[in-house]
Structure 1
């Protein structure tokens, strides 16, 4: 398993960034690329266009309107139905996954403003617990922070030692931030 944290520039210096936990613990299979709308990473685009990687992104909960248009997550402007259907989700976990390391608002913006991300294969965690992330306000229902996504992926791969290590690191991280 290889992970690419496609990190929004504002996320890099946030003290609540949980992606750093995986980057520090497992640099052999987790790396960071800073997202840029105007200068996307060419190697990442190649990975995506060759179907060698998928973007970890939740399946949209669609609300359909009588005129045949749907609104992903019930927010924002409705999208044409064909745009939603074009976002095919893989049923298997690819060797390389791209995680949008950002707030939910920033992650949606990254997806919306990056044609290569929109066109990418997608993979979604199907079984997930509620988020235990408490360090930021305005979290979306069912949304997980970056490290919780990584822990979920490791659980799918039965990598129990890494799950335990990152779960403890996440617990310690939150406890340290809340007491500080």
Structure 2
């Protein structure tokens, strides 16, 4: 399984970026694609057209008539599925939007090709250890935590642990 980090331009230079640990650990199994609103990345759009690609997307509380207004007024919650290890066999790659939560919403809303992807979410009660940014989504995980959780569910425990170790070192360094 590939992890595709669709990365906001600003994220590429932020010292607080955690997607870099995913790329460092997974190397060629992680693809970092800078997001461009006007010119979608051709490698990504070709991959979406030719492979089974899913989008990691936060799951909202299940309410039959609830519409996700902050994301897309026409998008209903039942389009997401819980991410379990047996679900991974349905995908060749997963896209993680690597940015702040506010930027991630904009990327999703301005990228029609993302809206056509099957959405998956992480079913976890674990709180994020990453508290270095303001305006974090309650219950939200950073990019590195998402990737580590996915990898641990597919049995790639060593890679998951390596990513989390890098993240913990980044947090410890910032706290000094």
> Any conservation in 2 of the 1:53–1:121 contact (CA below 8 Å)?
yes
Q: In structure 2, the residue corresponding to 1:38 is in which secondary structure?
A: coil
Structure 1: how far apart are the matches of 2:151 and 2:161?
10
Residues 76-120 of structure 1, C-alpha deviations (whole Å, 9 max, x = no match): 49824xx31673537612221111000011111111111110111
Q: How does 1:106-117 map to 2 (within 5 A)?
A: 106-117=103-114
Match of 1:79 in 2: 73
Match of 2:116 in 1: 119
Say yes or no: does 1:44 pair with 2:38. Answer: no
Length-normalised TM-score, structure 2 = 0.86
Moved more, 36-45 or 50-59: 50-59
Structure 1 stretches of 5 or more lacking a match?
none
> Any conservation in 1 of the 2:22–2:163 contact (CA below 8 Å)?
yes
Length-normalised TM-score, structure 1 = 0.85
Match of 1:154 in 2: 151
Q: Assess, with a 3 A threshold, how the Cα gap between structure 1 residues 61 and 108 changes in structure 2: closer, same or farther.
A: farther
Structure 2: how far apart are the matches of 1:22 and 1:76?
28
Q: Assess, with a 3 A threshold, how the Cα gap between structure 1 residues 160 and 125 changes in structure 2: closer, same or farther.
A: same
Normalized per residue, which structure has more helix?
2
Match of 2:15 in 1: 15
Q: Give the number of the structure whose alpha-carbon radius of gyration is greater.
A: 1
Which of 140, 144, 153 is the matching residue for 1:143? 140
> Any conservation in 2 of the 1:128–1:152 contact (CA below 8 Å)?
no
The root-mean-square deviation of aligned C-alpha atoms, in Å, is 2.2
